[in-house]
Structure 1
Amino acid sequence: MRADPAERGPAQQRSIRSELTALLLLCTVGSVLLECLLLVESLSGQLSGLSPALLAQTHAALFGPGRAGSLPLLFLQASLLPLALGTVVSVLLSVLLARQYARPLAALSDTLARLASGDLSARPASAHAHSESAQLARNVARLGERLQAADAERRYANAAVAHELRTPIAVLRARLAALQDGLVPLSAAELGKLARQLEVLTRLADDLQLMTQTELEPLPLALQDCDLAALVSEVVANMTAASADIRLHLAACPLVRGDAVRLRQVVSNVLDNALRYSPPGLPIQVRVWAEQAAGTPGPRACIRVEDAGVGVPDSALPQLFDRYFRADDSRTRSTGGSGMGLAIVKAIVEAHGGGTSAARSALGGLALSVWLPLLSASDGALRS
């Protein structure tokens, strides 16, 4: 049975304080003894350098004629009072310092114990701004924030995935039950409806597998020279054939080093996100170009997809590519989607050494951008 961290904290504080006090006292006692030995040794050395006559006169003056006595011990006895006072002061300082240093350490220990027991809201109290304990407290606070965020993401992911699984499974069960009871005739159209629900389940399973894979290890890529413009044109043509109004603008034909299958998935996911939230009848604009942006190590290929949808709040723009993030939960649930599409885009693009960004579109909706490093000019990165 685990002890309550609240009950364990004072005992830990006393233990840490006792250890620090004992350590400081040992250092103090050791320094006092060493000082005494050095004092005796120093006095003995100085007295040995005196002439016998002067030494005898000094001895007689201090102890009386014909009486025995040790000059080093006499001086040592005279120093005992200052040494005793110094020892007492050192002991008091040791106790105070031990209390001072034990308090933040015990608080950090208590915070870590609460985090370990599942209380992810536990945070250490702030310490002096420039002390080592303050830096340790900030690190523990960041650890708690990361753990709390990961736990919230895990809970949200479980709810999102459960919701996305429930819908196609419910449809499959209903249609299979209708077929089994003879309420619906078995036909090619009915089998097509079942196949579409299985495609939803398969895509969700593939997305979950990819997200898990990117968390555990680097994403494996089959790299080759890819004509990004041709690749985007192919994906756009397939979606346009499905009655999507997509307008493509090619300013250059850049070559990138990448995995063609994964890059098609990137373009498809970004376009699918735009189509999902665009009003019917309004076009989606796709631009592909190459540029040398400030602050980048070399030229890069850019893809920007803009829609005329309702957009998202400015505060949500930096989080659009986060796992399971939904700017409008009710809207996303009504239109479908598990919140993994753009997160997969980010994982694939970053595995290629690129980046992603989101901004407001001049069309009124979102402008989602993806950039990838180009091949060097000597390899024919740009072609007219």
Structure 2
Amino acid sequence: MRRIILSHMENQRFLEQELAMWKHICHVAPIGFLYVDRENHLIRCNPKACQLLDIQQCQHIPPRLLLELVRSYELDQLIEQTRKVGQHCEREWIFHPVSAEQAILSQQQPRPMRGYGLPLADGAVGVFLENRQEATLLAQQRDRWTSDVAHELKTPLTSIRLVAETLQTRLEPPLRTWVDRLLHETIRLSGLVQDLLDLSHLQASPTARLTKQPVDLVKLIQSAWQSLEPLARKKNLQLHYSGPSSLVILADEPRLHRVLLNVFDNSIKYSSPEQEIRVCMGLTANTTSTTQQVHLEVIDAGPGFPESALPHVFERFYQADPSRTRSGYELGMARQPDSSPPSSSEPAALMNSSCGLGLAIVRQIVEAHQGSVTAGNHPATGGAWLQIFLPWKPSEAVSLESVT
């Protein structure tokens, strides 16, 4: 019996040491931590969390409603979502400190935050908080530098293109092939520069650069597909559309046309020959309000996105598989003398090899329309599955007659 008691005491001492160690780690950790019970009372938080959330007293706080200490709708939503789904959840937002003292409020600056919610026993939730201020500043500096470089490259590329077009009509056929190649690469680089400038303009003032008017999405889908039909015809790909015969929203038509071009170009590029690309469209309930929204799905017949790439597909210059997205020119592979470069009259997508900007532009334009876009792999086909959500009002509708 004495041996059992000693063993029990030893185990208890070990557990107490473990608990003290983890408490110390949590206390000195460079990221914030909150422990919230099932009634949303804040039971425990470390000094870093108090600093990030501007909680004035972080030590020996009696259990209080989190709402009394921190006014953050996004943090509340993260906790509720984690509790509801019962698994790890992640959310990013801009935290705006709110204090009862106006003097303190005027000195506090909004800061970007990232929260990780972890479900615990009895409905409790643990939240790790990360300050994203430095990462945001670095991203802004990178984007500003990229935009500056694009501005500097635009004029010389235009000059090179003009010279190449002039030489194209004055050289003998054996030499014209090299000028054709130069012109092809110049057009591709000019397209890349224009994409960078478009992204920079959209990020600087997302809504100010939109010219909204009634747009029939069904006709826009047909128009975008027709623009890329030469690409689809090479692989004998078909477009299968299901949805209303007409659906009108208030949007910037050229921008949305660009969205569809980029999405279809990706789908055509990675779909296997003799397949079909599915486009489904309809209205669905908005999860954040009582209104409805347009739900547009594009499902290709390709291998889908690698799981590791899904969180990054909308980032600038991100390529899940660079070897699949570079043409022979980009790899330094010379053409045979008897082969002809692509004609400048071909669709823009033919002239521009993938550079990891297409889906970044898609996200920027969709978000400028107060919408959202997600990427995944379709559970039935395994192909890439892009879902675009756009705001819609009944007054914008013309017809919702379903077609098959």
CA contact (8 A) 2:303 2:383 kept: yes
The residue aligned with 2:47 is: 131
The residue aligned with 1:337 is: 354
The residue aligned with 1:260 is: 253
How do 1:177-216 residues align onto structure 2 when only pairs under 5 Å count?
184-186=174-176, 195-216=183-204
C-alpha spacing 1:137/1:289, structure 2 compared with 1 (3 Å): closer
Alpha-carbon displacement from aligned partner over 1:335-354 (angstroms, at most 9, x marks no partner)? 83111111111111111111
C-alpha spacing 1:148/1:330, structure 2 compared with 1 (3 Å): farther
CA contact (8 A) 1:311 1:365 kept: yes
CA contact (8 A) 1:312 1:366 kept: yes
Q: Is the counterpart of residue 143 in structure 1 residue 95 in structure 2?
A: no
The residue aligned with 2:20 is: none
Percent identity between the aligned chains? 29
Distance in 1, Cα, partners of 2:390 & 2:263: 15
Query: By how many angstroms is 1:369 displaced?
Result: 1.4
Which 5+ residue runs of structure 2 have no aligned equivalent? 1-28, 34-43, 55-110, 112-129, 151-158, 329-352
CA contact (8 A) 1:307 1:366 kept: yes
C-alpha spacing 1:124/1:226, structure 2 compared with 1 (3 Å): same
From 222, 226, 229, the counterpart of 2:218: 229
Distance in 2, Cα, partners of 1:256 & 1:206: 27
Query: By how many angstroms is 1:317 displaced?
Result: 1.6
C-alpha spacing 1:363/1:296, structure 2 compared with 1 (3 Å): farther
C-alpha spacing 1:174/1:278, structure 2 compared with 1 (3 Å): farther
* Paired AA for residue 351 in structure 1: A
Distance in 2, Cα, partners of 1:279 & 1:142: 40
Distance in 2, Cα, partners of 1:210 & 1:228: 22
The residue aligned with 1:374 is: 392
Query: By how many angstroms is 1:333 displaced?
Result: 3.3
The residue aligned with 1:284 is: 277
Between the two proteins, the alignment pairs up a number of residues equal to 258
Q: Is the counterpart of residue 363 in structure 1 residue 381 in structure 2?
A: yes
From 243, 247, 261, the counterpart of 2:239: 247
CA contact (8 A) 1:354 1:371 kept: yes
Distance in 2, Cα, partners of 1:141 & 1:296: 29
Distance in 2, Cα, partners of 1:303 & 1:133: 40
Largest Rg, 1 or 2? 1
Alpha-carbon displacement from aligned partner over 1:87-144 (angstroms, at most 9, x marks no partner)? xxxxxxxxxxxxxxxxxxxxxxxxxxxxxxxxxxxx9688994437852599795333
Query: By how many angstroms is 1:207 displaced?
Result: 0.3
How do 1:317-336 residues align onto structure 2 when only pairs under 5 Å count?
317-334=310-327, 336=353
Query: By how many angstroms is 1:334 displaced?
Result: 4.8
Superposition RMSD in Å = 4.5
SS of the counterpart of 1:184?
A: helix
SS of the counterpart of 1:205?
A: helix
Query: By how many angstroms is 1:177 displaced?
Result: 9.9
Q: Which moved more, 1:287-296 or 1:209-218?
A: 287-296
SS of the counterpart of 2:192?
A: helix
CA contact (8 A) 2:215 2:250 kept: yes
C-alpha spacing 1:192/1:301, structure 2 compared with 1 (3 Å): farther
Higher percent of residues as helix: 1
The residue aligned with 1:313 is: 306
How do 1:51-62 residues align onto structure 2 when only pairs under 5 Å count?
none
Distance in 2, Cα, partners of 1:328 & 1:317: 12
Query: By how many angstroms is 1:331 displaced?
Result: 2.7
CA contact (8 A) 2:310 2:376 kept: yes
Higher percent of residues as strand: 2
Q: Which moved more, 1:146-155 or 1:171-180?
A: 171-180
Query: By how many angstroms is 1:153 displaced?
Result: 7.7
TM-score (norm 1): 0.54
SS of the counterpart of 2:174?
A: coil
C-alpha spacing 1:226/1:364, structure 2 compared with 1 (3 Å): same
TM-score (norm 2): 0.52
How do 1:60-209 residues align onto structure 2 when only pairs under 5 Å count?
129-131=45-47, 135-136=51-52, 141-147=131-137, 184-186=174-176, 195-209=183-197
